[in-house]
Structure 1
Amino acid sequence: MNSDHTYFTISINPQHSNSELSVLFGGEGKPVPLHKNGPAVYDYYLIHTVLSGEGTFEMQNRTYRCAAGDSFIIYPGELFSYVADADQPWHYTWVAFTGRAAGMLLSHIGVSLQHAVIYGSNSRVIRHHYRRIRSCFRQSDHPALEDLESAGWLRLLLRELGQTNSHRLSVKPVTETEIDRQIGQAIRYLELQYTQSVSIEELARNLGYHRTYLCKMFKQSTGLAPMQYLFKIRMERAKQLLETSMTIDQVASSVGFNDALYFSKQFRKWTGAAPSVYRKELKA
Protein backbone atom coordinates (compact mmCIF):
# COMPACT_ATOMS: atom_id res chain seq x y z
CA MET A 1 0.00 0.00 0.00
CA ASN A 2 1.28 3.45 -0.93
CA SER A 3 1.59 5.40 2.36
CA ASP A 4 0.10 8.53 0.73
CA HIS A 5 -3.01 6.62 -0.34
CA THR A 6 -5.70 4.57 1.39
CA TYR A 7 -6.05 2.68 -1.88
CA PHE A 8 -3.57 2.44 -4.75
CA THR A 9 -3.19 0.18 -7.79
CA ILE A 10 -1.14 0.53 -10.96
CA SER A 11 -0.56 -1.52 -14.12
CA ILE A 12 2.47 -0.89 -16.31
CA ASN A 13 2.82 -1.64 -20.01
CA PRO A 14 5.90 -3.90 -20.37
CA GLN A 15 6.14 -3.14 -24.09
CA HIS A 16 8.30 -0.26 -25.26
CA SER A 17 6.49 1.16 -28.28
CA ASN A 18 7.17 3.95 -30.75
CA SER A 19 3.69 3.79 -32.23
CA GLU A 20 1.43 6.76 -32.82
CA LEU A 21 -0.37 6.12 -29.52
CA SER A 22 0.84 3.93 -26.67
CA VAL A 23 -0.23 3.53 -23.06
CA LEU A 24 2.60 3.65 -20.54
CA PHE A 25 0.67 2.80 -17.38
CA GLY A 26 -2.71 3.17 -15.73
CA GLY A 27 -3.84 3.29 -12.15
CA GLU A 28 -6.42 4.18 -9.54
CA GLY A 29 -5.99 5.65 -6.08
CA LYS A 30 -7.48 7.35 -3.04
CA PRO A 31 -4.90 9.81 -1.72
CA VAL A 32 -4.96 11.10 1.84
CA PRO A 33 -6.18 14.65 2.56
CA LEU A 34 -3.92 17.39 1.14
CA HIS A 35 -1.75 14.85 -0.70
CA LYS A 36 0.16 16.78 -3.37
CA ASN A 37 2.04 15.96 -6.56
CA GLY A 38 4.40 18.61 -7.93
CA PRO A 39 5.35 21.17 -8.85
CA ALA A 40 6.92 18.82 -11.38
CA VAL A 41 7.31 18.08 -15.09
CA TYR A 42 6.60 14.77 -16.85
CA ASP A 43 7.73 13.63 -20.29
CA TYR A 44 4.38 12.04 -21.16
CA TYR A 45 0.68 12.88 -21.23
CA LEU A 46 -1.31 11.98 -18.12
CA ILE A 47 -5.09 12.07 -17.73
CA HIS A 48 -6.77 11.85 -14.31
CA THR A 49 -10.53 11.41 -13.93
CA VAL A 50 -12.05 12.13 -10.54
CA LEU A 51 -14.42 9.41 -9.35
CA SER A 52 -15.38 11.05 -6.05
CA GLY A 53 -14.19 13.81 -3.73
CA GLU A 54 -12.45 17.01 -4.77
CA GLY A 55 -9.07 18.57 -5.43
CA THR A 56 -7.17 21.32 -7.22
CA PHE A 57 -5.09 21.12 -10.40
CA GLU A 58 -2.64 23.79 -11.59
CA MET A 59 -0.86 24.14 -14.94
CA GLN A 60 0.15 27.07 -17.16
CA ASN A 61 -0.60 29.51 -14.30
CA ARG A 62 -4.22 28.34 -14.27
CA THR A 63 -5.97 26.79 -11.28
CA TYR A 64 -8.85 24.35 -11.73
CA ARG A 65 -11.15 23.01 -9.04
CA CYS A 66 -12.11 19.43 -9.93
CA ALA A 67 -14.78 17.13 -8.52
CA ALA A 68 -16.44 13.82 -9.41
CA GLY A 69 -16.77 13.40 -13.17
CA ASP A 70 -14.06 15.93 -14.03
CA SER A 71 -10.84 15.02 -15.86
CA PHE A 72 -7.60 16.98 -15.91
CA ILE A 73 -4.81 16.52 -18.43
CA ILE A 74 -1.09 17.01 -17.83
CA TYR A 75 1.06 17.80 -20.87
CA PRO A 76 4.67 16.68 -21.29
CA GLY A 77 7.20 19.37 -20.49
CA GLU A 78 4.64 21.52 -18.64
CA LEU A 79 5.05 22.42 -14.97
CA PHE A 80 2.05 21.21 -12.96
CA SER A 81 0.84 20.39 -9.48
CA TYR A 82 -2.32 18.89 -8.01
CA VAL A 83 -3.52 18.46 -4.44
CA ALA A 84 -6.34 16.56 -2.75
CA ASP A 85 -9.00 18.44 -0.79
CA ALA A 86 -8.51 18.64 2.98
CA ASP A 87 -12.04 17.48 3.84
CA GLN A 88 -13.10 15.40 0.84
CA PRO A 89 -9.91 14.13 -0.84
CA TRP A 90 -10.49 12.87 -4.30
CA HIS A 91 -10.53 9.30 -5.52
CA TYR A 92 -9.26 9.23 -9.09
CA THR A 93 -8.11 6.97 -11.89
CA TRP A 94 -5.44 7.78 -14.45
CA VAL A 95 -3.65 6.78 -17.64
CA ALA A 96 -0.27 7.90 -18.97
CA PHE A 97 0.52 7.72 -22.68
CA THR A 98 2.81 8.91 -25.44
CA GLY A 99 2.88 8.76 -29.23
CA ARG A 100 3.09 10.88 -32.35
CA ALA A 101 -0.70 11.23 -32.48
CA ALA A 102 -1.26 11.93 -28.78
CA GLY A 103 -1.31 15.72 -28.96
CA MET A 104 -3.43 15.73 -32.11
CA LEU A 105 -6.01 13.39 -30.58
CA LEU A 106 -6.30 15.56 -27.48
CA SER A 107 -6.82 18.54 -29.73
CA HIS A 108 -9.56 16.65 -31.56
CA ILE A 109 -11.48 16.17 -28.30
CA GLY A 110 -11.22 19.86 -27.43
CA VAL A 111 -8.31 19.68 -24.96
CA SER A 112 -5.41 22.13 -25.02
CA LEU A 113 -2.92 23.76 -22.67
CA GLN A 114 -5.45 26.54 -22.25
CA HIS A 115 -8.37 24.16 -21.65
CA ALA A 116 -6.84 21.27 -19.73
CA VAL A 117 -9.93 20.13 -17.80
CA ILE A 118 -13.06 18.33 -19.02
CA TYR A 119 -16.01 18.75 -16.68
CA GLY A 120 -18.84 16.36 -15.91
CA SER A 121 -18.06 13.12 -17.76
CA ASN A 122 -19.96 9.87 -17.27
CA SER A 123 -17.74 8.39 -14.56
CA ARG A 124 -19.29 4.90 -14.86
CA VAL A 125 -18.42 4.52 -18.54
CA ILE A 126 -15.10 6.29 -18.09
CA ARG A 127 -14.13 4.06 -15.16
CA HIS A 128 -14.92 0.99 -17.25
CA HIS A 129 -12.50 2.12 -19.96
CA TYR A 130 -9.77 2.83 -17.41
CA ARG A 131 -10.22 -0.65 -15.93
CA ARG A 132 -10.01 -2.26 -19.35
CA ILE A 133 -6.77 -0.39 -20.04
CA ARG A 134 -5.24 -1.68 -16.81
CA SER A 135 -6.48 -5.21 -17.39
CA CYS A 136 -4.70 -5.36 -20.76
CA PHE A 137 -1.38 -5.87 -18.99
CA ARG A 138 -2.45 -8.90 -16.97
CA GLN A 139 -3.75 -11.29 -19.59
CA SER A 140 -1.12 -12.89 -21.79
CA ASP A 141 2.51 -13.55 -22.64
CA HIS A 142 2.31 -11.27 -25.68
CA PRO A 143 3.13 -7.69 -24.64
CA ALA A 144 2.97 -6.37 -28.20
CA LEU A 145 -0.67 -7.48 -28.43
CA GLU A 146 -1.41 -5.99 -25.02
CA ASP A 147 0.07 -2.70 -26.21
CA LEU A 148 -2.26 -2.74 -29.21
CA GLU A 149 -5.30 -3.52 -27.07
CA SER A 150 -4.57 -0.86 -24.48
CA ALA A 151 -4.18 1.77 -27.22
CA GLY A 152 -7.60 0.76 -28.53
CA TRP A 153 -9.20 1.23 -25.11
CA LEU A 154 -7.40 4.55 -24.74
CA ARG A 155 -8.98 5.72 -28.00
CA LEU A 156 -12.41 4.74 -26.66
CA LEU A 157 -11.66 6.66 -23.48
CA LEU A 158 -10.68 9.73 -25.49
CA ARG A 159 -13.83 9.38 -27.54
CA GLU A 160 -15.96 9.35 -24.38
CA LEU A 161 -14.14 12.38 -23.00
CA GLY A 162 -14.58 14.14 -26.35
CA GLN A 163 -18.31 13.46 -26.26
CA THR A 164 -18.46 15.15 -22.87
CA ASN A 165 -16.33 18.01 -24.16
CA SER A 166 -18.22 18.38 -27.44
CA HIS A 167 -18.90 22.09 -26.88
CA ARG A 168 -15.17 22.68 -27.35
CA LEU A 169 -14.69 20.52 -30.42
CA SER A 170 -13.67 22.14 -33.68
CA VAL A 171 -16.84 22.66 -35.67
CA LYS A 172 -17.48 23.77 -39.21
CA PRO A 173 -18.84 27.26 -39.82
CA VAL A 174 -22.47 27.68 -38.90
CA THR A 175 -23.10 28.82 -42.46
CA GLU A 176 -22.46 25.30 -43.74
CA THR A 177 -25.64 23.63 -44.90
CA GLU A 178 -26.57 19.97 -44.63
CA ILE A 179 -25.93 19.46 -48.34
CA ASP A 180 -22.45 21.00 -47.94
CA ARG A 181 -21.71 18.44 -45.27
CA GLN A 182 -23.05 15.64 -47.42
CA ILE A 183 -21.00 16.77 -50.41
CA GLY A 184 -17.95 16.65 -48.15
CA GLN A 185 -18.84 13.07 -47.27
CA ALA A 186 -19.28 12.22 -50.94
CA ILE A 187 -15.85 13.64 -51.75
CA ARG A 188 -14.31 11.68 -48.90
CA TYR A 189 -16.02 8.51 -50.14
CA LEU A 190 -14.64 8.96 -53.65
CA GLU A 191 -11.15 9.72 -52.34
CA LEU A 192 -11.13 6.48 -50.34
CA GLN A 193 -12.98 4.17 -52.73
CA TYR A 194 -11.49 5.17 -56.10
CA THR A 195 -9.85 1.74 -56.42
CA GLN A 196 -13.27 0.07 -56.40
CA SER A 197 -16.22 0.01 -58.74
CA VAL A 198 -18.15 3.12 -57.66
CA SER A 199 -21.89 3.52 -58.14
CA ILE A 200 -23.15 7.10 -57.94
CA GLU A 201 -26.66 5.72 -57.46
CA GLU A 202 -25.55 3.83 -54.38
CA LEU A 203 -23.61 6.83 -53.08
CA ALA A 204 -26.68 9.07 -53.49
CA ARG A 205 -28.87 6.49 -51.77
CA ASN A 206 -26.50 6.23 -48.82
CA LEU A 207 -26.51 10.01 -48.43
CA GLY A 208 -30.29 10.18 -48.72
CA TYR A 209 -30.50 12.15 -51.97
CA HIS A 210 -31.79 11.50 -55.46
CA ARG A 211 -28.94 10.87 -57.90
CA THR A 212 -29.86 13.86 -60.09
CA TYR A 213 -30.00 16.25 -57.15
CA LEU A 214 -26.72 15.00 -55.68
CA CYS A 215 -24.95 15.37 -59.04
CA LYS A 216 -26.29 18.91 -59.43
CA MET A 217 -25.18 20.00 -55.95
CA PHE A 218 -21.84 18.17 -56.27
CA LYS A 219 -21.04 20.04 -59.48
CA GLN A 220 -22.04 23.37 -57.94
CA SER A 221 -19.63 22.68 -55.09
CA THR A 222 -16.65 21.20 -56.96
CA GLY A 223 -17.12 22.28 -60.56
CA LEU A 224 -17.22 18.63 -61.61
CA ALA A 225 -19.83 15.90 -61.76
CA PRO A 226 -19.17 13.03 -59.30
CA MET A 227 -17.86 10.68 -62.01
CA GLN A 228 -15.62 13.43 -63.39
CA TYR A 229 -14.26 14.02 -59.91
CA LEU A 230 -13.66 10.29 -59.50
CA PHE A 231 -11.91 10.19 -62.86
CA LYS A 232 -9.66 13.07 -61.79
CA ILE A 233 -8.71 11.25 -58.58
CA ARG A 234 -7.86 8.10 -60.52
CA MET A 235 -5.77 9.86 -63.13
CA GLU A 236 -3.80 11.91 -60.61
CA ARG A 237 -3.08 8.78 -58.61
CA ALA A 238 -2.06 6.93 -61.78
CA LYS A 239 0.47 9.68 -62.54
CA GLN A 240 2.01 9.10 -59.11
CA LEU A 241 2.15 5.33 -59.56
CA LEU A 242 3.78 5.64 -62.97
CA GLU A 243 6.76 7.14 -61.18
CA THR A 244 7.31 3.72 -59.57
CA SER A 245 8.41 0.40 -61.08
CA MET A 246 4.84 -0.94 -61.26
CA THR A 247 3.66 -2.33 -64.59
CA ILE A 248 0.93 -0.56 -66.57
CA ASP A 249 -1.43 -3.41 -65.69
CA GLN A 250 -0.67 -2.99 -61.98
CA VAL A 251 -1.17 0.76 -62.15
CA ALA A 252 -4.48 0.32 -63.95
CA SER A 253 -5.74 -2.16 -61.35
CA SER A 254 -4.59 0.09 -58.51
CA VAL A 255 -6.73 2.98 -59.71
CA GLY A 256 -9.91 1.06 -60.40
CA PHE A 257 -9.51 -0.14 -64.02
CA ASN A 258 -9.81 -3.84 -64.75
CA ASP A 259 -8.85 -3.32 -68.40
CA ALA A 260 -5.33 -1.94 -68.91
CA LEU A 261 -6.05 -0.99 -72.52
CA TYR A 262 -9.10 1.02 -71.51
CA PHE A 263 -7.06 2.63 -68.75
CA SER A 264 -4.35 3.61 -71.25
CA LYS A 265 -6.95 5.17 -73.54
CA GLN A 266 -8.46 7.19 -70.69
CA PHE A 267 -5.05 8.21 -69.38
CA ARG A 268 -4.09 9.51 -72.82
CA LYS A 269 -7.27 11.60 -72.89
CA TRP A 270 -6.36 13.07 -69.52
CA THR A 271 -2.66 13.78 -70.05
CA GLY A 272 -2.23 13.76 -73.81
CA ALA A 273 0.21 10.84 -73.58
CA ALA A 274 -0.09 7.08 -73.19
CA PRO A 275 1.09 5.75 -69.81
CA SER A 276 4.28 4.29 -71.27
CA VAL A 277 5.12 7.56 -73.00
CA TYR A 278 4.32 9.55 -69.87
CA ARG A 279 6.68 7.32 -67.89
CA LYS A 280 9.50 7.79 -70.42
CA GLU A 281 9.04 11.55 -70.26
CA LEU A 282 9.37 11.44 -66.49
CA LYS A 283 12.73 9.75 -66.81
CA ALA A 284 13.98 12.02 -69.58
Structure 2
Amino acid sequence: MNPGHHYYSHSINPSPIEGEITVLFSGEGQPRSLHKMGPTIHDYYLIHTVLSGQGEFNVRDQRYRCNAGDTFIIFPGELFSYQADEHQPWQYVWIAFVGHGAAALMDSIGISRDDPVITGSPNPNIREYYSRLHSCFQSDSLPELSNLESGGWVRLLFQQLGLAKRRLEAANPPAVSLIDHTMKQAIQFLTLQFSQTISIEHMSNVLGYHRTHLCKLFKQTTGLSPMQYLLKIRMERAEQLLTTPMTIDQVASSVGFGDALYFSRKFRKWRGQSPSEYRKTLRNVPQRS
Protein backbone atom coordinates (compact mmCIF):
# COMPACT_ATOMS: atom_id res chain seq x y z
CA MET A 1 0.00 0.00 0.00
CA ASN A 2 1.28 3.43 -0.93
CA PRO A 3 1.25 5.45 2.37
CA GLY A 4 -0.34 8.48 0.68
CA HIS A 5 -3.28 6.48 -0.67
CA HIS A 6 -6.33 4.63 0.60
CA TYR A 7 -5.94 2.41 -2.45
CA TYR A 8 -3.09 2.09 -4.96
CA SER A 9 -2.42 -0.36 -7.81
CA HIS A 10 0.43 -0.04 -10.29
CA SER A 11 1.58 -2.19 -13.23
CA ILE A 12 4.78 -1.70 -15.25
CA ASN A 13 5.52 -2.77 -18.81
CA PRO A 14 8.15 -5.48 -18.23
CA SER A 15 9.82 -5.02 -21.60
CA PRO A 16 8.85 -1.80 -23.42
CA ILE A 17 9.64 -1.82 -27.13
CA GLU A 18 10.51 1.50 -28.74
CA GLY A 19 7.91 2.58 -31.26
CA GLU A 20 5.34 5.17 -32.26
CA ILE A 21 3.56 4.83 -28.91
CA THR A 22 4.90 2.75 -26.03
CA VAL A 23 3.03 2.44 -22.74
CA LEU A 24 5.44 2.44 -19.79
CA PHE A 25 3.08 1.82 -16.89
CA SER A 26 -0.50 2.25 -15.72
CA GLY A 27 -2.31 2.42 -12.43
CA GLU A 28 -5.27 3.35 -10.29
CA GLY A 29 -5.36 5.05 -6.93
CA GLN A 30 -7.39 6.90 -4.34
CA PRO A 31 -5.12 9.38 -2.57
CA ARG A 32 -5.74 10.58 0.97
CA SER A 33 -6.92 14.10 1.75
CA LEU A 34 -4.50 16.79 0.44
CA HIS A 35 -2.06 14.21 -0.95
CA LYS A 36 0.28 16.11 -3.29
CA MET A 37 2.60 15.17 -6.13
CA GLY A 38 5.31 17.64 -7.17
CA PRO A 39 6.35 20.18 -8.16
CA THR A 40 8.37 17.90 -10.41
CA ILE A 41 9.15 17.07 -14.04
CA HIS A 42 8.76 13.82 -15.97
CA ASP A 43 10.45 12.73 -19.20
CA TYR A 44 7.30 10.94 -20.42
CA TYR A 45 3.63 11.72 -21.04
CA LEU A 46 1.30 11.02 -18.12
CA ILE A 47 -2.51 11.02 -18.39
CA HIS A 48 -4.91 10.93 -15.44
CA THR A 49 -8.68 10.52 -15.65
CA VAL A 50 -10.63 11.36 -12.49
CA LEU A 51 -13.20 8.73 -11.53
CA SER A 52 -14.63 10.43 -8.44
CA GLY A 53 -13.87 13.25 -6.04
CA GLN A 54 -11.91 16.40 -6.74
CA GLY A 55 -8.39 17.76 -6.95
CA GLU A 56 -6.23 20.48 -8.43
CA PHE A 57 -3.74 20.25 -11.31
CA ASN A 58 -1.12 23.01 -11.65
CA VAL A 59 1.05 23.62 -14.71
CA ARG A 60 2.40 26.68 -16.58
CA ASP A 61 1.15 29.02 -13.81
CA GLN A 62 -2.39 27.76 -14.41
CA ARG A 63 -4.62 26.02 -11.87
CA TYR A 64 -7.22 23.53 -13.06
CA ARG A 65 -9.92 22.28 -10.72
CA CYS A 66 -10.64 18.71 -11.83
CA ASN A 67 -13.73 16.68 -10.98
CA ALA A 68 -15.11 13.25 -11.85
CA GLY A 69 -14.95 12.71 -15.61
CA ASP A 70 -12.12 15.20 -16.19
CA THR A 71 -8.78 14.18 -17.70
CA PHE A 72 -5.49 16.05 -17.31
CA ILE A 73 -2.35 15.47 -19.33
CA ILE A 74 1.23 16.05 -18.21
CA PHE A 75 3.75 16.66 -21.01
CA PRO A 76 7.44 15.71 -20.87
CA GLY A 77 9.67 18.45 -19.47
CA GLU A 78 6.80 20.42 -17.90
CA LEU A 79 7.03 21.47 -14.25
CA PHE A 80 3.75 20.41 -12.63
CA SER A 81 2.02 19.49 -9.41
CA TYR A 82 -1.37 18.08 -8.44
CA GLN A 83 -3.15 17.65 -5.14
CA ALA A 84 -6.22 15.83 -3.82
CA ASP A 85 -9.08 17.85 -2.38
CA GLU A 86 -9.24 18.16 1.41
CA HIS A 87 -12.86 17.03 1.76
CA GLN A 88 -13.46 14.96 -1.40
CA PRO A 89 -10.09 13.53 -2.44
CA TRP A 90 -10.16 12.22 -5.94
CA GLN A 91 -9.84 8.68 -7.25
CA TYR A 92 -8.12 8.41 -10.62
CA VAL A 93 -6.59 6.09 -13.18
CA TRP A 94 -3.44 6.84 -15.16
CA ILE A 95 -1.08 5.74 -17.91
CA ALA A 96 2.42 6.86 -18.86
CA PHE A 97 3.78 6.56 -22.38
CA VAL A 98 6.52 7.70 -24.77
CA GLY A 99 7.14 7.37 -28.51
CA HIS A 100 8.15 9.29 -31.60
CA GLY A 101 4.48 9.61 -32.58
CA ALA A 102 3.23 10.84 -29.20
CA ALA A 103 3.39 14.58 -29.90
CA ALA A 104 1.53 14.26 -33.21
CA LEU A 105 -1.07 12.03 -31.59
CA MET A 106 -1.74 14.57 -28.82
CA ASP A 107 -2.09 17.27 -31.43
CA SER A 108 -4.49 15.19 -33.52
CA ILE A 109 -6.95 14.83 -30.63
CA GLY A 110 -6.73 18.51 -29.71
CA ILE A 111 -4.54 18.29 -26.60
CA SER A 112 -1.65 20.71 -26.17
CA ARG A 113 0.68 22.03 -23.48
CA ASP A 114 -1.46 25.17 -23.29
CA ASP A 115 -4.72 23.21 -23.19
CA PRO A 116 -3.97 20.05 -21.18
CA VAL A 117 -7.36 19.35 -19.57
CA ILE A 118 -10.49 17.69 -20.99
CA THR A 119 -13.54 18.43 -18.86
CA GLY A 120 -16.84 16.63 -18.76
CA SER A 121 -17.97 13.03 -18.61
CA PRO A 122 -16.21 10.80 -21.15
CA ASN A 123 -17.54 7.56 -22.58
CA PRO A 124 -17.73 4.96 -19.76
CA ASN A 125 -15.66 2.64 -21.96
CA ILE A 126 -12.64 4.75 -21.00
CA ARG A 127 -12.54 3.07 -17.57
CA GLU A 128 -12.51 -0.31 -19.30
CA TYR A 129 -9.59 0.73 -21.51
CA TYR A 130 -7.57 1.80 -18.49
CA SER A 131 -8.37 -1.51 -16.78
CA ARG A 132 -7.28 -3.48 -19.83
CA LEU A 133 -4.03 -1.53 -20.02
CA HIS A 134 -3.46 -2.16 -16.35
CA SER A 135 -4.07 -5.89 -16.58
CA CYS A 136 -2.20 -6.65 -19.81
CA PHE A 137 1.16 -6.11 -18.06
CA GLN A 138 0.15 -8.50 -15.29
CA SER A 139 -0.57 -11.43 -17.60
CA ASP A 140 1.76 -14.34 -18.32
CA SER A 141 1.91 -13.58 -22.05
CA LEU A 142 5.16 -12.78 -23.80
CA PRO A 143 6.38 -9.17 -23.31
CA GLU A 144 6.11 -8.38 -27.01
CA LEU A 145 2.48 -9.50 -26.95
CA SER A 146 1.82 -7.29 -23.93
CA ASN A 147 3.28 -4.37 -25.89
CA LEU A 148 1.03 -5.16 -28.83
CA GLU A 149 -2.06 -5.40 -26.64
CA SER A 150 -1.28 -2.19 -24.73
CA GLY A 151 -0.75 -0.36 -28.02
CA GLY A 152 -4.26 -1.30 -29.13
CA TRP A 153 -5.94 -0.28 -25.87
CA VAL A 154 -4.11 3.02 -25.62
CA ARG A 155 -5.22 4.00 -29.13
CA LEU A 156 -8.84 3.24 -28.22
CA LEU A 157 -8.36 5.37 -25.11
CA PHE A 158 -6.97 8.26 -27.15
CA GLN A 159 -9.86 7.97 -29.60
CA GLN A 160 -12.35 8.38 -26.76
CA LEU A 161 -10.43 11.32 -25.31
CA GLY A 162 -10.42 12.92 -28.75
CA LEU A 163 -14.21 12.52 -29.02
CA ALA A 164 -14.66 14.05 -25.57
CA LYS A 165 -12.47 16.99 -26.60
CA ARG A 166 -14.46 17.51 -29.80
CA ARG A 167 -17.76 17.46 -27.87
CA LEU A 168 -16.38 20.07 -25.50
CA GLU A 169 -15.29 22.30 -28.37
CA ALA A 170 -18.63 21.90 -30.14
CA ALA A 171 -20.46 22.97 -26.98
CA ASN A 172 -18.20 26.01 -26.52
CA PRO A 173 -17.19 27.25 -29.99
CA PRO A 174 -15.02 30.40 -30.17
CA ALA A 175 -16.71 33.48 -31.59
CA VAL A 176 -14.69 33.50 -34.82
CA SER A 177 -14.54 29.73 -35.34
CA LEU A 178 -17.04 29.65 -38.22
CA ILE A 179 -15.07 32.10 -40.40
CA ASP A 180 -11.74 30.50 -39.48
CA HIS A 181 -13.10 27.05 -40.25
CA THR A 182 -14.52 28.20 -43.59
CA MET A 183 -11.23 29.80 -44.63
CA LYS A 184 -9.30 26.67 -43.66
CA GLN A 185 -11.71 24.66 -45.80
CA ALA A 186 -11.28 27.05 -48.72
CA ILE A 187 -7.49 26.91 -48.50
CA GLN A 188 -7.61 23.12 -48.18
CA PHE A 189 -9.91 22.91 -51.21
CA LEU A 190 -7.49 24.92 -53.37
CA THR A 191 -4.45 23.07 -52.02
CA LEU A 192 -5.90 19.66 -52.84
CA GLN A 193 -7.59 20.56 -56.13
CA PHE A 194 -4.95 22.83 -57.71
CA SER A 195 -4.22 20.34 -60.51
CA GLN A 196 -7.88 20.33 -61.57
CA THR A 197 -10.01 22.90 -63.37
CA ILE A 198 -11.29 24.95 -60.45
CA SER A 199 -14.43 27.05 -60.33
CA ILE A 200 -14.69 29.58 -57.53
CA GLU A 201 -18.47 29.37 -57.93
CA HIS A 202 -18.33 25.62 -57.24
CA MET A 203 -16.06 26.12 -54.22
CA SER A 204 -18.43 28.80 -52.89
CA ASN A 205 -21.41 26.46 -53.22
CA VAL A 206 -19.55 23.64 -51.49
CA LEU A 207 -18.68 25.90 -48.56
CA GLY A 208 -22.12 27.48 -48.43
CA TYR A 209 -21.09 31.05 -49.20
CA HIS A 210 -21.98 33.52 -51.92
CA ARG A 211 -19.04 33.91 -54.30
CA THR A 212 -18.57 37.63 -53.60
CA HIS A 213 -18.71 37.19 -49.82
CA LEU A 214 -16.31 34.23 -49.88
CA CYS A 215 -13.81 36.15 -52.01
CA LYS A 216 -13.99 39.09 -49.60
CA LEU A 217 -13.38 36.88 -46.56
CA PHE A 218 -10.57 35.06 -48.36
CA LYS A 219 -8.83 38.33 -49.27
CA GLN A 220 -9.16 39.59 -45.69
CA THR A 221 -7.66 36.36 -44.34
CA THR A 222 -4.82 35.69 -46.81
CA GLY A 223 -4.24 39.03 -48.53
CA LEU A 224 -4.94 37.34 -51.89
CA SER A 225 -8.04 36.54 -53.89
CA PRO A 226 -8.87 32.82 -54.28
CA MET A 227 -7.55 32.84 -57.86
CA GLN A 228 -4.34 34.61 -56.84
CA TYR A 229 -3.85 32.08 -54.07
CA LEU A 230 -4.51 29.24 -56.51
CA LEU A 231 -1.92 30.65 -58.92
CA LYS A 232 0.59 30.87 -56.07
CA ILE A 233 0.04 27.21 -55.19
CA ARG A 234 0.38 26.17 -58.84
CA MET A 235 3.53 28.17 -59.50
CA GLU A 236 5.26 27.00 -56.32
CA ARG A 237 4.44 23.42 -57.24
CA ALA A 238 5.67 24.01 -60.79
CA GLU A 239 9.00 25.25 -59.42
CA GLN A 240 9.34 21.96 -57.55
CA LEU A 241 8.45 19.86 -60.59
CA LEU A 242 10.90 21.73 -62.81
CA THR A 243 13.69 20.22 -60.73
CA THR A 244 12.63 16.77 -62.02
CA PRO A 245 13.06 15.20 -65.48
CA MET A 246 9.40 15.94 -66.37
CA THR A 247 8.78 17.79 -69.62
CA ILE A 248 7.31 21.29 -69.65
CA ASP A 249 4.04 19.86 -71.00
CA GLN A 250 3.93 17.36 -68.14
CA VAL A 251 4.65 20.02 -65.54
CA ALA A 252 1.93 22.27 -66.99
CA SER A 253 -0.62 19.48 -66.91
CA SER A 254 0.37 18.49 -63.37
CA VAL A 255 -0.37 21.96 -62.02
CA GLY A 256 -3.71 22.46 -63.74
CA PHE A 257 -2.80 24.01 -67.13
CA GLY A 258 -4.06 22.23 -70.23
CA ASP A 259 -2.10 24.63 -72.47
CA ALA A 260 1.67 24.55 -71.98
CA LEU A 261 2.13 27.91 -73.76
CA TYR A 262 -0.36 29.58 -71.43
CA PHE A 263 1.42 27.97 -68.48
CA SER A 264 4.76 29.31 -69.75
CA ARG A 265 3.36 32.85 -69.98
CA LYS A 266 2.01 32.65 -66.43
CA PHE A 267 5.26 31.21 -65.14
CA ARG A 268 7.33 33.96 -66.80
CA LYS A 269 5.11 36.57 -65.20
CA TRP A 270 5.49 34.81 -61.84
CA ARG A 271 9.22 34.10 -61.89
CA GLY A 272 10.57 36.52 -64.52
CA GLN A 273 11.85 33.53 -66.51
CA SER A 274 10.29 30.94 -68.77
CA PRO A 275 10.08 27.40 -67.35
CA SER A 276 13.02 26.36 -69.57
CA GLU A 277 15.13 29.32 -68.45
CA TYR A 278 14.30 28.62 -64.82
CA ARG A 279 15.35 24.99 -65.24
CA LYS A 280 18.68 26.04 -66.82
CA THR A 281 19.27 28.44 -63.94
CA LEU A 282 18.82 25.60 -61.48
CA ARG A 283 21.32 23.45 -63.36
CA ASN A 284 23.89 26.24 -63.21
CA VAL A 285 23.61 26.75 -59.47
CA PRO A 286 26.87 25.52 -57.89
CA GLN A 287 26.34 22.46 -55.71
CA ARG A 288 27.58 22.55 -52.13
CA SER A 289 30.13 19.92 -51.28
Which TM-score band (shorter chain)? Answer: 0.5 to 0.7
Aligned residue type for 1:49 = T
Q: How does 1:13-32 map to 2 (within 5 A)?
A: 14-17=16-19, 19=20, 22-25=21-24, 27-31=26-30
Q: Counterpart in 2 of 1:67?
A: 67
Tell me the equivalent position of 1:50: 50
Match of 2:230 in 1: 230
1:105 to 85, 104, 107: 107
TM-score by length of 2: 0.66
What is the total number of aligned residue pairs between the two structures? 275
Contact map agreement 1:48 1:92 (CA 8 A) in 2: yes
How large is the RMSD of aligned CA atoms in angstroms?
A: 4.8
2:281 matched to 1:281? Answer: yes
Change (3 A) 1:70 1:165: farther
Report Cα offsets for 1:33-68 as digits up to 9, x if no partner. 356655543101212110113345455677665431
Answer yes or no: is the 8 Å Cα contact 2:26–2:133 preserved in 1.
Answer: no
Structure 2 gap ranges (5+) = 285-289
Per the alignment, do residues 97 and 65 of structure 1 end up closer, same or farther by CA in structure 2, a change over 3 Å counting? same
Q: Distance in 2 between matches of 1:64 and 1:179?
A: 30
Residue equivalent to 1:33: 32
Match of 2:76 in 1: 76
Q: For the structure 1 residues 130 and 200, does the alpha-carbon distance in structure 2 shift closer, same or farther, using more than 3 Å as the test? A: farther
**Match of 1:188?**
188
Q: Report the 3-state secondary structure (helix = DSSP H, G, I; strand = E; otherwise coil) of the residue aligned with 1:252.
A: helix
Name the CA distance, whole Å, in 2 between partners of 1:266 and 1:185.
26
- Normalized against structure 1, the TM-score is what? 0.67
Distance in 1 (CA, whole Å) between partners of 2:135 and 2:197 is 43
SS at match of 2:195: coil
Task: Name structure 1 gaps, 5 residues minimum.
Answer: none
Question: Who is 2:242 aligned against?
Answer: 242
Q: Does the CA-based 8 Å contact 1:118-1:165 persist in structure 2?
A: no
Deviations 1:58-99 (A, max 9, x none): 556776654312333323234545455677553312233445
The separation in 2 between residues aligned to 1:54 and 1:78, in whole angstroms, is 22
* 1:164 aligned onto 2:168: yes
1:154 matched to 2:148: no
Decide whether aligned partners of structure 1 residues 154 and 214 sit closer, same or farther in structure 2, where only a CA change above 3 A counts. Answer: same
SS at match of 1:105: helix
Work out whether residues 136 and 150 of structure 1, in 8 Å CA contact, stay in contact via their aligned partners in 2: no
Does the 8 A contact of 2:31 with 2:89 survive in 1?
yes
Report the Cα offset of residue 16 of structure 1.
Answer: 0.9
Partner SS for 2:96: strand
Bigger drift between 186-195 and 207-216 goes to 207-216
